[in-house]
Amino acid sequence: MSLNWKQKVLLVKTEATYGTDAAPSGAANAILAQDVQLKPMEGTDVSRDLERPYFGADATIPTELMSEITFDVELAPSGVAGTPPAWGSLLRACGLAETINAGTSVIYNPITQSPESATVHLHIDATRYVILGARGNVRLDLQAQAVPKLRFTFKGLFVKPTDAAYPTADLTPWTVPQVVTMGNTPVFQIDGVDLVMRSFQMDLGNQIEGRFLVGREEVKLGDRQESIETTVEAVQLATFDPFQRALDQSATALQLTHGTGAGKIATLDVPAAQMQRPQGLSTAQNVKEWPLRLVPLPQAGNDQFTLTLT
């Protein structure tokens, strides 16, 4: 009997101990995902390099086995100020700390030491794929007149898939997103200047790689290189001059606020970004636009950006 690709349940839960199955449940840990893609058995095939008196293919042995999963979720806070969103565990597994201020806000910021990990269970019809010790990368993606998204890629330790009962997923914690519009996205500023924005992406640039040694096998977050790309309407240079800012290499603040209503607001603050060389111009509807690149830079450390949900 064939298995139904559309019949998926994705579960993710933060691990208490690295690489130990956190046993995510459909009742508490279901992810409302889009465009799920799975590479269940990544790794290296080591040739045995056997010397034989005849031609023929050589046998190989699979090593450094990992699983990789990518998917999108909608950027929509919980709807209740001070309550973490349903995707909070995903950010924590991407090297971000979660600070909960009850009744007020939830704040995410980068960390360097002891990043958390997650257990991922993906059910596709009757088959369950398990990824242990998963750590990942995320990219914020906001496009005018589109649903804002968080695009995740996770890598973790391989576990042989099994047949398993299909779980029931509770998706009620997931809220309806607000489309990126002038009314729903009230603030977009670079260096205190309001700019008309077409698109915005921030990639955490997490370096995720396997480390397979005798005595320890782990998927590590080894480095982070954040980057921002945004397209805005060009203005007079007296108002905003990205060329001079690139020459000066001075710290440039960026703020983006999306969402309206208590518990539905996400604010990204980048206090000190470096403007990169503008490498071209673009046009849409005969309006000149600037594709801009910025690099969030740490000042005291782990302070290159914050994402605050209120």
DSSP 195-257: --EEEEEEE--EEEEEEEETTEEEEEEEEE--EEEEEEE---TTT--HHHHHHHT-EEEEEEE
DSSP 107-124: EEEE--SS---EEEEEEE
- Output the tens digit of pLDDT for each of the chain's 310 residues: 788 888 999 999 999 999 999 999 999 999 999 999 999 999 999 999 999 999 999 999 999 999 999 999 999 999 999 999 999 999 999 999 999 999 999 999 999 999 999 999 999 999 999 999 999 999 999 999 999 999 999 999 999 999 998 899 999 999 999 999 999 999 999 999 999 999 999 999 999 999 999 999 999 999 999 999 999 999 999 999 999 999 999 899 999 999 999 999 999 999 999 999 999 999 999 999 999 999 999 999 999 999 999 9
Collapsing DSSP to helix, strand or coil, 92 comes out as helix
User: End-to-end CA distance of the chain, in Å?
Assistant: 48
Instruction: Answer yes or no: are the C-beta atoms of 149 and 120 closer than 8 Å.
Output: no
Neighbours of 101 (CB within 10 A): 12
pLDDT of res. 1? 79
Cα dist. 37→70, 114, 151 in Å?
Answer: 5, 27, 12
Cα dist. 280→228, 253, 293 in Å?
Answer: 16, 22, 11
DSSP 145-185: TS--EEEEEEEEEE---EE-PPPPP--TTPPPP----TTT-
pLDDT of res. 31? 98
DSSP secondary structure letter of residue 57: P
Instruction: Answer yes or no: are the C-beta atoms of 295 and 226 closer than 8 Å.
Output: yes
pLDDT of res. 5? 85
Instruction: Answer yes or no: are the C-beta atoms of 210 and 219 closer than 8 Å.
Output: yes
- Among all chains, which residue has been given the structure tokens 């921002």? 228
119/63 Cα distance (integer angstroms): 21
